[in-house]
Amino acid sequence: MSTVLQLSHFIDNAWVPAASGEQFEVYDPSTEQVIALAARGTAPDVDKAVEAARRAFPAWRDAKPRDRAALLFALANALRERAADFAHWEALNSGKPLARARREILGTARYFEFYAGAADKFYGDSIPLGGDYVDFTLREPLGVTAHIVPWNFPLNMIGRSVAPALAMGNTAVVKPAEQTPITALKLAELALELGFPAGVYNVVTGYGEEAGAPLSRHADIDGITFTGSVEVGRLIMKAAAEHIHSVVLELGGKSPIIVFEDADPAHAAAETAKAIYSNSGQVCSAGSRLLVHERLKDDVLEALVARSQTLRVGPALEDPDLGPLISREQFERVQGYVETGQQEGARVILGGTRPPERARGLFFSPTILDNVRPEMRVAQEEIFGPVLSVITFQDESEALKIANGVHYGLVAGVITNDLGRALRMARGLHAGQVFINEYFAGGEETPFGGYKQSGFGREKGWEALYNYTQVKNIAIRIR
Ligand code: NAI
Ligand code: MG
């Protein structure tokens, strides 16, 4: 048991045990073994972290933007230097394949770099009011920002929201998912080493209801960024209403990948496999509905099944194509959806449960459900596993109607060589991002977020800076 990590909160540049004195277990989903005991945060811990962030705010806000940027650049560089170590912990704790974990750590470094570059370039305006006035705007930080993060991209999502928040002069309190607290705390180690001022970056670990809820309800935060389920997103919005805090919500999806009859079936199959199997389907923007023209369906499915059968499912550190699902709860949820689909009349043409060579554990095979109709639950609800629902269409307008016929609207993929059709679809789709001919195209630079119940506010790119600033207009009468 000596290898079990002991984790504390990180508050005011200090390692702090839970006020309650309690801990909770953190697992390696590849083995279901306990790998860490973490501080079980509750309201008093959250209070302490918010107080530290509040105390740190004025000096951080008033620092020269280039000095804030220098620290963020240093953090980006340090993350790159230690990518192997961070990737090991991320893979171990989240079950994601090692090479993918490494890419996500490098992506996190890229967020810190991108937003470090923005720190001294996000200007206000000068507004012409005629000769008697000078008018300009200031972009001021909000203050203390709260970040409630899920387990599917543990460090990467911290980079996505904390980097722009800090760059703009806010301070941060992070509540990582209870499943995956390790890399949030490793980032704290780096920040401490690099000389970040006390209270700028704080981490409180714990369960959603015990640590996340008191953070979201806290009277002295100024904004909250949440990524996770729609159910909890609603609670966050209600909590924010109490004190009129600004909210950014990123709540998942049921995104379509739409394949037209002129597509190359091999290309369509490759893009679909990437869309649904990446991170074992535990991706908010997963392409979980294949909408395929009825004439191309057999060819695409043949290529997709062949490709899916070559994928290796296994422990994260062996760097497979698909790692395990995060938890037993998620495994049962995904398995339950496959059964629901069958009851609704869908046909399992591949997978459907654990791979035969893995009798135990949280591993789930690449799974394809054929004969899905748009109104079925497996075509409407987020499954969050490597389970693809296949639906056919006859023409463009039917494709668009099915694509938009869900409560979500996060992303959408379109595979066609017909430019006019691609652009008509892009205009018509209810989604915050549209990928044409390459699923997941884009990067840290491109704005990301949802239409409809997928949430609001945009993360990534320049756009995210608007979440973490407020505009003050100053009008001067010359006399
Ligand atoms: P969740 O929404 O319960 O958890 C996400 C984060 O919110 C975690 O840090 C959790 O501790 C926190 N949280 C939970 N309850 C809270 C509360 N009452 N107040 C404040 N914070 C709270 O998601 P969960 O249970 O892990 O997964 C359930 C489903 O949600 C998944 O199957 C998937 O469909 C969806 N999901 C979507 C994600 C996305 O990327 N958009 C990420 C994770 C889950
Ligand atoms: Mg939950």
Which residue owns the Cα nearest ligand 1 atom 8? Answer: 177
The whole-number average pLDDT for the span 264-292 is 98
The pLDDT value recorded for residue 78 is: 98
Q: Which pLDDT tens digit goes with each residue over 54-90? A: 999 999 999 999 999 999 999 999 999 999 999 999 9
Q: 3 pLDDT band (50/70/90 cuts)? A: confident
Residue 349 clears pLDDT 70, i.e. is over it: yes
Is the pTM of the predicted complex or chain greater than 0.85? yes
Q: Which ligand is nearest the CA of 329, by number? A: 1
From the alpha carbon of 252, which atom of ligand 1 is closest?
41
Which residue among 179, 203, 229 is best mutated to probe the pocket of ligand 1, counting the most ligand atoms within 8 A of its Cβ?
229
231 CA: nearest ligand 1 atom = 2
**pLDDT tens-digit profile of 127-140?**
999 999 999 999 99
Ligand closest to Cα of 385 equals: 1
CA pair distance 182, 75, nearest whole angstrom: 17
Q: What is the tally of helices (H) and strands (E) in the chain?
A: 14, 22
pLDDT surpasses 90 at 1: no
Q: Whose CA is nearest to atom 43 of ligand 1?
A: 228
CA distance 258 to 292: 6
Per DSSP, the residues of 100-131 read: HHHHHHHHHHHHHHHHHHHTTT----B----T
Give the integer Cα–Cα distance in Å for 155 and 422: 34
Atom number in ligand 1 closest to CA 383: 34
Tens-digit pLDDT profile for residues 403-449:
999 999 999 999 999 999 999 999 999 999 999 999 999 999 999 99
* Ligand 1 atom nearest to 216, measured from its CA: 20
CA distance linking residue 397 with residue 378, whole number of Å: 22
User: How far is the C-alpha of 384 from the C-alpha of 229, rounded, in Å?
Assistant: 11
What per-residue confidence (pLDDT) applies to 6?
Answer: 98
Closest-lying ligand to the alpha carbon of 408?
A: 1
Specify the residue with its C-alpha closest to ligand 1, atom 32.
Answer: 384
Q: What share of the chain is helix, strand, coil (3-state, %, to 5)?
A: 40, 25, 35
Q: Count of residues for the chain?
A: 479
Which residues does 402 contact at the CB level (< 8 Å), separation at least 6? 256, 289, 291, 374, 391, 393
Structural domains of the chain, with CATH: 5-251+455-474 (3.40.605.10), 255-444 (3.40.309.10)
Distance 292 CA to ligand 1 centre (A): 31
pLDDT in tens, 159-182: 999 999 999 999 999 999 999 999
Which residues are catalytic, by number?
250, 284
Which residue has the least CA distance to atom 18 on ligand 1?
Answer: 209
Whose Cα sits closest to atom 41 in ligand 1?
252
Residue to substitute in 46, 94, 147, 148 for testing ligand 1 pocket (most ligand atoms within 8 angstroms of CB): 148
